[in-house]
Structure 1
Amino acid sequence: MKRVAANDPVAIREIGSKYYNNGDREHAFEYFTNAAELGDASAHHELSIMYQKGEGVEKDEKMELFHLVEAAIGGHPDARYDLARKEGRNERFDRSAKHFIIAANLGHDGSIRALKEGYKHGFVSKEDFAAALRAHQAAVDATKSPQRDAAEAFAEKFDVYRSSKLLVEKMLEY
């Protein structure tokens, strides 16, 4: 709570996540909004999801897109991936591929699979696909550590979904 009082956007977002997971969408929205105003990309992504689903707020495609773009600009790989999918659904395949490439460069696995399909169908060049594969591997390698490997082994052993929030909670219980 000291970090929340000091306006730490990550701490504020985590409080929002706690409210969200407990079903209190109204308070979650308030905390996510506060964290987003402080520049937290993950909070923007959470808000985009809330606006998309109409959870705690009225469905609003413009606000969904606003927060999705802000999260993507802030470096959130899932937001970049979601933008790519949205562009693909709107048949803007060049823009979609660019977003997938950026997400892949951030280490997003789903983007590599999407780029592979795009390459198969001629929407992605061989050079762009190869560059994205190299950048993706570099991003994945940069995040490797013995602690991360141990956490992953723990998650697999107990069949825990690889969400960092759930993983931390389960590890604390263990």
Structure 2
Amino acid sequence: MICGACERELPDDSYSEEERGRRQSIRRCEECVAAGNQLVLMKRGRTRPEEDECPICNLPLPLDTKQSSFQACCMTLVCKGCDLAACKRGMRDCPFCRAATPGAESLCLPMIQKRFDAGDPMAIYFLGSQYRFGLLGLEKDVTRAVELYERAAELGVKVAHFNLGLLYHKGADVEKDTAKVIRHWEAAAMRGHVKARHNFGCEEDDAGNYDLASQHWTISANMGHEGSLNNLKHHVRERSRDQGRLCWSSAWLSGRCRGNEKCRS
């Protein structure tokens, strides 16, 4: 068994019975538990990577994808602010690489195909998305989309991991597979994908692993995910309410005991 904190392969007796029942990424050996060593899953992907920045203004891209525009010519995401600024200056070409922007969506496909043929990981992912939703004149083909997503994921595209996790989680167009959901969202989260980290927290919360869920949400909240922050607030309120009930119950029981003692005297 491999420890999810120290990443050493250790014999089974190095783990408690509870830890042996966990999956590798959240399993800790007794030594790491005693030392309080953090899981690798929680160490990596705590900040957004440089690729999440707008290449023009170098500010983090909004988590809302509608606030960014994808440039098919250079496979680059540009924030709407820089896009608007370029338009105000009279630029009608790509605000990043200055390539001529195709006037029709049908003209985008040859540009994407060219970069796809060159082995561009983002082009592979983007073409997969077109097959997934049947865009740019392509017939919807989820099987082909999954193939391309898998290929892009192998090349390190974290959003490909995230979308594969979504597909296997929903189970609408592909067979539902929880193991693949976890594998892909773990990979995306450790690469700094904010929504994957948030969703992973939701999965742990549903499984009753509230401490792990809070750790995931804390990381994604620090990276700007409002839903994670709201979930953390909800957890704090619930814990406070439970503690309040516990204190009231303890006080009531204490009073009952004192009353019984008085009766006995």
Tell me what 1:156 maps to. Answer: none
Of the candidates 173, 180, 192, which is equivalent to residue 75 of structure 1? Answer: 192
Does the CA-based 8 Å contact 1:25-1:55 persist in structure 2? Answer: no
Structure 2 residue runs without a partner (length 5+): 1-112, 135-139, 241-265
1:20 aligned partner, one-letter code: R
Tell me what 1:118 maps to. Answer: 235
2:161 aligned partner, one-letter code: H
Instruction: State how far apart, in whole Å, the 2-side matches of 1:37 and 1:55 are.
Output: 23
| Alignment root-mean-square deviation, CA | 1.5
- Residues 1:31 and 2:129 are matched in the alignment: no
- Residues 1:4 and 2:116 are matched in the alignment: yes
Instruction: State how far apart, in whole Å, the 2-side matches of 1:66 and 1:6 are.
Output: 28
Tell me what 1:86 maps to. Answer: 203
Instruction: State how far apart, in whole Å, the 2-side matches of 1:119 and 1:35 are.
Output: 39
- Residues 1:53 and 2:53 are matched in the alignment: no
3-state SS of the aligned residue for 2:208? coil
Does the CA-based 8 Å contact 1:84-1:100 persist in structure 2? Answer: yes
* TM-aligned CA deviation for residue 3 of structure 1: 2.2
Instruction: State how far apart, in whole Å, the 2-side matches of 1:41 and 1:55 are.
Output: 22
Instruction: State how far apart, in whole Å, the 2-side matches of 1:68 and 1:91 are.
Output: 18
Identity of aligned residues (%): 38
Instruction: State how far apart, in whole Å, the 2-side matches of 1:67 and 1:59 are.
Output: 13
**Which structure shows the bigger proportion of residues in helix conformation?**
1
Structure 1 residue runs without a partner (length 5+): 124-174
Larger Rg: 2
> TM-score, normalised to structure 1's length?
0.66
Q: What is the aligned length?
A: 123
* TM-aligned CA deviation for residue 108 of structure 1: 1.1
Instruction: State how far apart, in whole Å, the 2-side matches of 1:113 and 1:72 are.
Output: 19
> TM-score, normalised to structure 2's length?
0.44
1:2 aligned partner, one-letter code: K
Task: Render the CA deviation track for 1:35-75: whole Å, top value 9, x for unaligned.
Answer: 00101110001111111223443221111111111111111
Of the candidates 125, 134, 154, which is equivalent to residue 13 of structure 1? Answer: 125
In structure 2, relative to structure 1, the CA distance for the partners of 1:69 and 1:21 (3 Å cut) is same
2:224 aligned partner, one-letter code: G
Instruction: State how far apart, in whole Å, the 1-side matches of 2:146 and 2:130 are.
Output: 11
- Residues 1:101 and 2:211 are matched in the alignment: no
Instruction: State how far apart, in whole Å, the 2-side matches of 1:6 and 1:78 are.
Output: 29
Instruction: State how far apart, in whole Å, the 2-side matches of 1:4 and 1:101 are.
Output: 37
3-state SS of the aligned residue for 1:12? helix
Instruction: State how far apart, in whole Å, the 2-side matches of 1:60 and 1:16 are.
Output: 20
* TM-aligned CA deviation for residue 4 of structure 1: 1.6
Does the CA-based 8 Å contact 1:51-1:61 persist in structure 2? Answer: yes
Moved more, 94-103 or 111-120: 111-120
